Amino acid sequence: MKTRLLIPAVLRKYSNDELEISFDGDTVGELLRQLKQVNPAVYGCICDETGRMRKHINLFLDNKILRRDDFDRKLEPGVVVSVFQAVSGG
Protein backbone atom coordinates (compact mmCIF):
# COMPACT_ATOMS: atom_id res chain seq x y z
CA MET A 1 0.00 0.00 0.00
CA LYS A 2 1.31 3.43 -0.90
CA THR A 3 2.11 6.27 1.47
CA ARG A 4 0.27 9.50 0.70
CA LEU A 5 2.01 12.86 1.10
CA LEU A 6 -0.58 15.62 1.46
CA ILE A 7 0.48 18.90 -0.13
CA PRO A 8 -0.70 22.05 1.70
CA ALA A 9 -2.37 24.78 -0.33
CA VAL A 10 0.63 27.11 -0.03
CA LEU A 11 2.89 24.53 -1.78
CA ARG A 12 0.45 23.43 -4.49
CA LYS A 13 1.84 25.96 -6.94
CA TYR A 14 4.95 23.74 -6.91
CA SER A 15 2.97 20.51 -7.40
CA ASN A 16 0.83 21.49 -10.42
CA ASP A 17 -2.07 21.87 -7.97
CA GLU A 18 -1.87 18.21 -6.95
CA LEU A 19 -3.40 17.65 -3.50
CA GLU A 20 -1.24 14.61 -2.77
CA ILE A 21 1.61 12.52 -4.11
CA SER A 22 1.84 8.75 -3.49
CA PHE A 23 5.05 6.85 -2.73
CA ASP A 24 6.23 3.29 -2.09
CA GLY A 25 9.06 4.00 0.39
CA ASP A 26 9.42 2.17 3.70
CA THR A 27 10.87 5.11 5.66
CA VAL A 28 10.45 8.87 5.83
CA GLY A 29 13.92 9.27 4.31
CA GLU A 30 13.00 7.07 1.34
CA LEU A 31 9.81 9.06 0.81
CA LEU A 32 11.80 12.31 0.78
CA ARG A 33 14.40 10.89 -1.64
CA GLN A 34 11.60 9.83 -3.99
CA LEU A 35 9.97 13.26 -3.63
CA LYS A 36 13.28 14.90 -4.62
CA GLN A 37 13.26 12.84 -7.82
CA VAL A 38 9.62 13.30 -8.82
CA ASN A 39 9.11 16.88 -7.61
CA PRO A 40 12.30 18.74 -6.68
CA ALA A 41 10.38 22.00 -6.17
CA VAL A 42 8.18 20.60 -3.38
CA TYR A 43 11.19 18.77 -1.91
CA GLY A 44 13.09 22.08 -1.84
CA CYS A 45 10.28 23.65 0.16
CA ILE A 46 10.49 20.85 2.75
CA CYS A 47 14.25 20.17 2.93
CA ASP A 48 17.27 22.42 2.57
CA GLU A 49 20.30 21.82 0.34
CA THR A 50 21.87 19.55 3.00
CA GLY A 51 18.80 17.30 3.11
CA ARG A 52 17.63 18.49 6.52
CA MET A 53 14.05 19.51 7.11
CA ARG A 54 13.62 23.28 6.97
CA LYS A 55 13.07 24.93 10.36
CA HIS A 56 9.62 26.27 9.47
CA ILE A 57 8.34 22.87 8.25
CA ASN A 58 6.76 20.06 10.27
CA LEU A 59 5.80 16.63 9.00
CA PHE A 60 3.00 14.66 10.60
CA LEU A 61 2.45 10.92 10.26
CA ASP A 62 -1.26 10.28 10.72
CA ASN A 63 -1.56 13.41 12.89
CA LYS A 64 1.54 12.64 15.03
CA ILE A 65 4.44 15.05 14.64
CA LEU A 66 7.69 13.64 13.29
CA ARG A 67 10.92 14.51 15.07
CA ARG A 68 13.23 16.48 12.79
CA ASP A 69 15.98 13.84 12.86
CA ASP A 70 13.72 10.80 12.50
CA PHE A 71 14.12 10.09 8.77
CA ASP A 72 14.68 6.40 9.58
CA ARG A 73 11.12 6.16 10.94
CA LYS A 74 9.27 3.24 9.37
CA LEU A 75 6.13 4.11 7.44
CA GLU A 76 3.22 1.82 8.18
CA PRO A 77 1.18 0.74 5.14
CA GLY A 78 -1.38 3.38 4.21
CA VAL A 79 0.04 6.08 6.49
CA VAL A 80 -0.72 9.68 5.52
CA VAL A 81 2.15 12.18 5.73
CA SER A 82 1.08 15.82 6.05
CA VAL A 83 3.27 18.89 5.54
CA PHE A 84 2.68 21.94 7.73
CA GLN A 85 4.41 25.29 7.60
CA ALA A 86 4.88 27.19 10.84
CA VAL A 87 2.99 30.45 11.05
CA SER A 88 4.58 33.39 12.81
CA GLY A 89 4.31 37.10 12.98
CA GLY A 90 2.51 39.64 14.99
Which CATH number is 16's domain given?
A: 3.10.20.30
- Would 7 be classed as within a structural domain? yes
To the nearest whole number, what is the mean pLDDT of the chain?
92
Positions in the chain whose pLDDT score sits under 50: none
Gap between the Cα atoms of 84 and 34, Å rounded: 19
What distances in angstroms separate CA 15 from CA 26, 43, 63, one per listed residue?
A: 22, 10, 22
Per-residue pLDDT of 21-36, as tens digits, reads: 999 989 999 999 999 9
Q: How many domains does the chain have?
A: 1
The domain containing residue 19 runs over which residues? 3-85
Verdict on whether the full-model pTM lies above 0.85:
yes
